[in-house]
Amino acid sequence: MPARHRIRTLFALSAATILLLAACKGAEPQNLLVLEWSGYEAEDFWTDFKSDNADAPVTFEFGISDADILAKMEAGSQADLFHFYSGWQQFYVDGGLVQEIDTSKLTNWDKVPDSFKEQGQVNGKQYFLPWDWGFTSILYNTDEVAEVTSWDALFNVDYAGHVSMWNDGPAAVTVSAYVNGWDETGITADQLAQIEQAWIAQKPLNAFYWSGEYEDLCPAVEDGTVWVAYAWQGCYAQALYDGIPVAYATPSEGRNSWIGFYGISSKTDSYELALKFLDAKLADLTMNNVVTQFYYGAANQDVMNAIEDEVLIEAFGINDPTILEHTNFTPPVTAEQRSAWTEMWARVQAE
């Protein structure tokens, strides 16, 4: 082919691709836009809504972290609904980004335990709908590690080289608060300095700080690199399924629990449809898919009570209700606290 034809082809090709791309985003008669973590857009996780409202298209916008999702909402995302995790409730309320949920219109609301409902309230109003939840605790290899009864196992020098902490500042502060018996929401500058020193000293004990449950933590727990880890219950369930000798501690300080919430944007013009979507989100089939596919807990207690899978019963501590009673829900923190904690963690990492 002569060169000029190639170049012309090249230009034509690029023009065509750009037109194609432009066309891709063209027609969007969207009724509901959900700002969501990627993975939840699969129909299994809104199947009840789909079957009742086949004519109402749902589209998704994606976020990768709570900070990212908040940033997108603050930047004026058109999303009608958004999904985020514990600790960030206050920001949405303070920023006027969310509106109260009319729970009287939710047929599945009664299936949600009160303790979860309370976590979704700010200033006495139900701004958020609790949906998925899980534990954080110490996951450990029972062949290598004696029974773990406290969060301080992460600081035990006997396990040097085989510990793994989550790469997250606020999580580090939470663990330190448990170990020291401090109030997590009232950490002083002095306490934060102590926390920083403790984690700097703990640093060499880690094989690595993990960043993704299934990307780096779980494989390392399963191949024997990691013996003691800050972990969510999903990795515990997976290790159990794979026959790895692991246990999930119930520390004397209590486990930590986190909840995923949905909020309705204050700017939505489809409030009623958003309510329908949330109600369907709580329905049994949808919630059951979350439990069986993601190993996440469901806010629908009927679904939790109906679990028969031995591993999941163990992972969610369903046979021992005291676990959930003694758990510490991740509390909301202020922007100042959050930035102080993340900056502390950056210094620990850089050290």
Span 21-50, contacts to other proteins by CB under 8 A:
21-22, 24-25, 28, 33, 37-39, 41-42
- Which of 126, 167, 301, 328 is the binder for other proteins (CB under 8 A)? 167
Contacts with other proteins: how many residues (CB under 8 A)?
86
* Separation CA 245–CA 258 (nearest Å): 25
- Phi then psi for residue 187, to 5 deg, are -65, 125
Stretch that binds other proteins, among 3-11, 108-116, 177-185, 250-258 (CB under 8 A): 3-11
Stretch that binds other proteins, among 103-111, 248-256, 276-284, 343-351 (CB under 8 A): 343-351
* 57 sits near other proteins (criterion: CB under 8 A): no
* 225 sits near other proteins (criterion: CB under 8 A): yes
**Residues whose CB is less than 8 angstroms from the CB of residue 274 and which lie 6 or more positions away in sequence, other chains included:** 32, 80, 81, 264, 268
- Which of 6, 143, 157, 252 is the binder for other proteins (CB under 8 A)? 6
Q: Which is nearer to other proteins, 75 or 189 (CB)?
A: 75
* 309 sits near other proteins (criterion: CB under 8 A): no
Which residues, numbered 95-114, are part of the site for other proteins (CB under 8 A)? 95
* 211 sits near other proteins (criterion: CB under 8 A): yes
What's the alpha-carbon Rg for the chain, to the nearest Å?
23
* Separation CA 108–CA 227 (nearest Å): 41
* 260 sits near other proteins (criterion: CB under 8 A): no
Residue 335 amino acid letter: A
Of residues 118, 55, 60, the one with CA closest to residue 261: 118
Q: Which is nearer to other proteins, 207 or 304 (CB)?
A: 207
CB of 43 to other proteins, least distance (A): 8
* 54 sits near other proteins (criterion: CB under 8 A): no
Stretch that binds other proteins, among 47-55, 108-116, 237-245, 277-285 (CB under 8 A): 237-245
* 94 sits near other proteins (criterion: CB under 8 A): no
* 83 sits near other proteins (criterion: CB under 8 A): no
* Separation CA 70–CA 351 (nearest Å): 29
Asked whether the beta carbons of 317 and 135 are under 8 A apart, the reply is yes
* 20 sits near other proteins (criterion: CB under 8 A): yes
CB of 36 to other proteins, least distance (A): 9
Q: Which is nearer to other proteins, 211 or 252 (CB)?
A: 211
CB of 278 to other proteins, least distance (A): 20
